[in-house]
Amino acid sequence: MAFVNLNVKSGYSFLKSTLKIEDIVSYGSLNNFSYLGLTDQNALFGAPAFVKACKRANIKAIIGMEVYILEKDEASYPLVLLVKNATGYRNLCYFTSLVSKDKLTTALKYSDLSDKTDGLIAILPMARSCYRNLDSKDKKAYLTNFQHYFSDFYLGLEYYEEADAKLNEELRLLHYPKTVLNEVRASSSSDLKYLDILRAIDLGTTLDNLPEENKAYRYFRKEEELAFYFSKEELESTEKIAASCQFDIHEVQAKLVSYPLDEGIEAEAYLRALCNKGLNKRFNNRPSVNYQKRLAYELDVIIKMGFTNYFLVVWDYVRFAKKSGILVGPGRGSGSGSLVAYALGITNVAPLKYDLLFERFLNPERITMPDLDIDFIDTRRDEVFKYLINKYGQDRTAHVIAFQTFGVRQALRDAAKVLGLPLYEVDSFAKKIPNLYSDYSLVKIVDKSPSFKSLINSNSKYQQVYEVALHLEGLPRQSTIHAAGMVITDSLLTDVTPIYCPTSDLISTQYDLNHLEEFGLLKMDILGLKNLGILDDCAKMIASTYQRKLDFLSLDLDDPNIYKLISSTKTAGLFQLESPGMKRAISLIKPNSFADVYALIALFRPGPMDSIKTYALRKQGKEAVTYLDPILEDILKPTYGIIIYQEQIMQILVKMAGFSYAQADLVRRAISKKKATELASIEKDFLAGAIKKGHAKKKAQQVFDLILQFAGYGFNKAHSVAYAMLTVWMAYIKYYYPAIFYVALLNTFASDQKLSEYYTEIKNSKLKILGPSINKSREYFYVEDDKIRFSLASIKGLTPGSLKIIFEARKSGSFASFADFVLRVQAFGLGEKAIKLLIYAGAFDEFAINRTTLSKNLKTYLAYASITSSLIDGQLSFDSSLAEAPKMQIYPKNSIEESNLEKQLLGLYLTSFPLEEKREELKKAGFITVEQALLREGTVKLVLLFSRCRAVKTKRGDYMLRSVASDESGEINVIVFPNEYQKYELLLKSGNYLQVLAKIEQSNNGINLVLRQAKIYNLKEDESV
């Protein structure tokens, strides 16, 4: 018999172990272990991954948990619990509801153990217990107490220091069963130092200030080494214990939740009735025969596969959301291909109209859980979560956990902090990693980036940071909650899964989404989408302004004005269509139909992107549309002979080779994985089927090769259609109600980059943004006389408290002057800093006094207000006799300073662009504006403000830059090829003004500037340096 490690902690004992799950199993495999235990602190987070990894390595996994027991001295001490059977697993899951909280430090009371210890083996780690601090009488009572609760109870013998050997000699005289239980938190003795690193991160301190802790021998130790401290019998007892744990956690399977119905009503009959009613409503009581047949087929499949209740549950919470005024998206993912979902009102995409296939969503020949992803307004999604918890019970509903691991930058930052680097060095160290390598491992980044490698080698401390970060990278760091997932079970959650309670009102599973299905847990995806919030805000503003109740489902998806807008590439804020690359694709395709939009969404991805030009040329009649076989024409005609959608691949397999749609879905999935053995078998079946249907073998082979070419890139058409619907709804509002659209957009996405981008488009669309006004601006952007009024809340640095004072003061009437404003707000606590923000944001421009003057006079007016105004019983009182009113001292306007401060505070140049005052000088020196450049050919000279600088890797492995540059007349895309980028890299930064010599390049993607030369342009000194 061999020794078994029964007290191994993984990285899921957050910041207490250096071991990843794969490290533990790899060590076990290398050393030919038959058994391995995992006993993380107060959690079972890693159990599913551990069990699966052990099975692959032919190792028997022992699952357990190290809990803490609260003793009379108010301190808590560890107790290792191992699962013997299904009862033990349920009891351990129950304990997680008591101890898996916050930082996983909660202890059990003895009373918590009552009736919950069956099926569990308890091993008391004696060296870490309070045993040696007790007198002989209390020692006996202490151990008797554990034996009372646990029928399988062992004393865990440990050795970490010399005193433990003496303790073990004492324990050997007792009649209790004994076993060896050395704690393992590292692979080897050389890794123990990283336990201090983790502890320092946990405590938020540096290694130099870290309190001492005995971590000796907390690593995998060889059996021959342990034989110095423990007897053969004691070591062999570990294997006897392991052998008694005959339980596989995957034996536990959840039962799908039952939708609550009145007694006597069958769920299947209820679902059929709802669907038939819904279908008739959709088609004014006249659904076609094809729709009726499809509905009957889908219902038969759903009921046969046992998913009746799932559809009822989803229908119910979508219905709740709609009744509560929560806007629900038209659909997402393959679920949009289900007619049952459409009839129930879960989705709003008619599957037959768009040739969507049910089997792509739910395949009767592939037993997997259905996945109906539903989008809700992001700000109201929590209402849906609460509805489900209230309806099904807090003990049967849970959010889904997720785990954050140490990424490269996080590992570097944490390593630098604990090693005592100054904060500025900590931040700059991680920022030195080129964005291009952000997804690479640390080792690969050093290999690929000479500059980062040079930085590490420049300093011994940096080398130490690098070594520490290497050991941290990939370890679990902390838990979080999956943004959308929720599970509902028909029985207690703890019968199936351990649970985690990060807060008193939040419960999550301890198994993440990668493992839920293994336990029969069905995840509901309740997603939040900001774009739905924009649509909802627009609908409310349209209703209040124009008294029109907008019904998105009744909008004409064939309205040519929608596609006129999209084809103009003025797509800022349009769902899926606003990136520069997408705009280039739009300028090629020039979409004029709904089908073009959902094709665009499907094509704009790596791989299919190569077909965008072909799609455009064929659409415009500039390239012939051809088909390998006439049978493909009906399938590929809508996409001009190009395979774009997964559904098209399935249709070809069915029509040409006689596969069923269920078989076609299985084949599509197998082809996309490109496994040689499977492909050979599929190819054989396809050719045989095609020949049987009368097709020549050569032609069938050509079609199969075509399928292989596109199968890996094919996009889910159902998802594309559903999202295109959302895009077109937004485009409709943008075309017919542009000011309302932009207001909703600005109130939702008000980051600097977005604000500047939106402002440029707004400016070019002839709409006007009015600056902040102390009398007219509200907390949010709003429409004022068909213009957009800037919000006060969007002024950076202005606090909610400051806003509250301003709005309260304004209730008694508009401010007559700057002096009036100061008098009315000073006594309420609005101080110099907040008022200066308002000044330089332009909030007082309506009083026709320049900002520099207001700023320089502010202290005088505040002093006057502090003497003459006061609060009496919360009411403002003013006595002008106490001091003479100040007179405004006028100062020259500092245009450049005012413009730059405005940009800092508003995120854009709203009233004037710094270059405007220099335009005459620039004109004389031969510099033109962006607006003029767009009409020129050849080489041009401009002075531009660079933004959105993005380095990209060429096919040859060099780096080039794409950027957007602007002046007061507009924006233009700038391309910097590798040679020039290498020469001017240090200058090409967002926020820099550059004097450039560039060539105008006209392409299918629009007009670009190709940079040839660049110099810094100094606004203040009016010279290049």
Within-domain flag for 613: yes
- 175: helix, coil or strand? coil
69 and 172 fall within a common domain:
yes
DSSP, collapsed to helix, strand or coil, labels residue 622 as coil
User: Are residues 972 and 858 part of one domain?
Assistant: no
Question: Is residue 485 domain-shared with residue 412, that is, in the same domain?
Answer: no
CATH number for position 201: 3.20.20.140
Contact criterion met (CB below 8 Å) for 950 and 985: no
C-alpha span between 43 and 37 (Å, rounded): 14
Domain termination site, one of 859, 884, 906: 906
Q: Which of 444, 473, 502 is the last residue of a domain?
A: 473
Residues 813 and 959 in one domain: no
Total Cβ atoms within 10 A of residue 942: 23
Long-range contacts for 981-989 (Cβ within 8 Å, ≥24 apart)?
A: 981/951, 984/1011, 984/1014, 985/961, 987/1014, 987/1015, 987/1016, 988/946, 988/949, 988/961, 988/963, 988/1014, 989/946, 989/949
Whether residue 797 is found in the same domain as residue 852: yes
Q: What is the pLDDT of residue 1021?
A: 46
Looking at the fold, whether 144 and 66 belong to one and the same domain comes out as yes
Residue 121 lies in a domain: yes
Which domain-ending residue is among 906, 929, 946? 906
Q: Same structural domain for residues 877 and 807?
A: yes
* pLDDT at residue 1025, rounded to an integer: 25
In a domain, 985, yes or no: yes
State both tokens at 482: 């999956």
Residue 259 included in any domain: no
Q: Is 550 part of any domain?
A: no
pLDDT of residue 671: 83
Is 260 domain-assigned? no
Place of tokens 């269509």: 577
Average pLDDT along the chain, 1025 residues, taken 10 residues at a time: 92 97 96 96 97 97 97 92 97 95 88 95 97 92 95 96 95 96 95 95 93 90 94 96 94 91 95 97 96 97 95 97 97 96 97 96 86 94 95 94 94 93 78 77 87 86 92 95 92 94 90 92 92 97 95 96 96 90 90 97 89 95 94 95 94 94 88 79 92 93 90 90 98 97 91 74 87 96 95 94 96 95 93 96 96 96 92 85 91 87 88 85 93 87 91 85 88 92 92 94 77 90 36
Residue 274 and residue 241 share a domain: no
CA distances from 653 to 289, 615, 721, 792 (A): 25, 23, 22, 59
Q: Is residue 599 within 8 Å of residue 724, measured between CB atoms?
A: no
Q: Are residues 353 and 428 in the same domain?
A: no
Residue 337 and residue 354 share a domain: yes
Same domain for 684 and 706, yes or no, is yes
Sequence-separated (6 or more) residues with CB below 8 Å from residue 654:
660, 661, 664
329 and 289 share one domain: yes
- Asked if residue 570 is part of any domain, the answer here is no
Counting the structural domains of the chain, the total is: 6
Angle, helices 530-546/738-748, rounded to nearest 10 degrees:
140
Burial class (CB in 10 A: 0-12, 13-18, 19+), 496: buried
The H-or-E segment that residue 919 falls in is helix 919-924
What tokens appear for 400 in the block?
């889904």
What is the rounded CA–CA span in Å between residue 492 and residue 393? 9
CB count, 10 Å around CB of 371? 17
pTM of the model as a whole: 0.86
The answer to whether position 721 is within a domain reads no
CATH number at residue 464: 1.10.10
Q: Which domain holds residue 135?
A: 21-251
